Amino acid sequence: MVIHRLSPPPRFVVLPSWKRTSRAARGPALPLKLARPQHSELRDFKKLSSDPPGGISGAPCADNIMVWNAVIFGPAETPFEDGTFRLVLTFDESYPNKPPVVKFLSKMFHPNVYANGELCLDILQNRWSPTYDVAAILTSIQSLLHDPNPNSPANAEAAQLYRDNNKEYVKRVRATVERSWVDEDVVE
């Protein structure tokens, strides 16, 4: 490989170390159904890394490609603005035919987020399509922060305040935003 003086450094992803050994020493090949999800997740990571939508970030854990950590920044001109919200996405072998389980790690006060951090979002349930990828999931969640659906509440108190006392709702969300800056404030 020839490296020119003005060439940018090569981009690569560090995955868990895999030693080169003979086929016999490695054992039998993985069944295709186990190898396929990893292919989909690597494709999603490559796409998200090369062309990330604004305000979202995500990557697989170094020791398990089936678990991703993600961050969504609160959308501008919303009560969530300036918030930094951490999530975890857990995939299984059925992905992309089945959605990942997505959960906020940061505490969240939102009509469509349960107390344990799980989301009530149609594309993660009955409207899932194998064409969705991680970027689409995170973008949809960011959009949900901008435009909650109080008619399908996971948090009845947040939904009621959103509908009936928006000033108090905004106050509670702003407190959530301030807590999002502190790493220790995590949903159990």
pLDDT tens, residue by residue, 145-160? 999 999 999 999 999 9
In a domain, 14, yes or no: no
Give the strand order in the sheet containing 64-73.
56-61, 64-73, 84-90, 101-104
Q: Are 111 and 105 in contact (CB under 8 A)?
A: no
Whether this model's pTM surpasses 0.85: no
Compute, in degrees rounded to 10, the torsion defined by CA atoms 87, 88, 94, 98: -20
> pLDDT tens, 61-87?
999 999 999 999 999 999 999 999 999
Distance of alpha carbon 150 from alpha carbon 110, whole angstroms: 9
Please pick, among 120, 123, 136, 170, the residue that the annotation labels catalytic.
Answer: 120
In a domain, 65, yes or no: yes
Distance of alpha carbon 153 from alpha carbon 162, whole angstroms: 11
Domain that holds residue 152: 32-180
In a domain, 125, yes or no: yes
> pLDDT tens, 154-187?
999 999 999 999 999 999 999 999 999 886 555 5
Distance of alpha carbon 129 from alpha carbon 170, whole angstroms: 33
Residue that wins the pLDDT comparison between 127 and 27: 127
Nearest partner of 154 among 113, 121, 187, 123, judged by Cα? 113
Respond yes or no: is residue 120 known to be catalytic: yes
Number of domain units in the chain: 1
The CATH number that applies at residue 77 is: 3.10.110.10
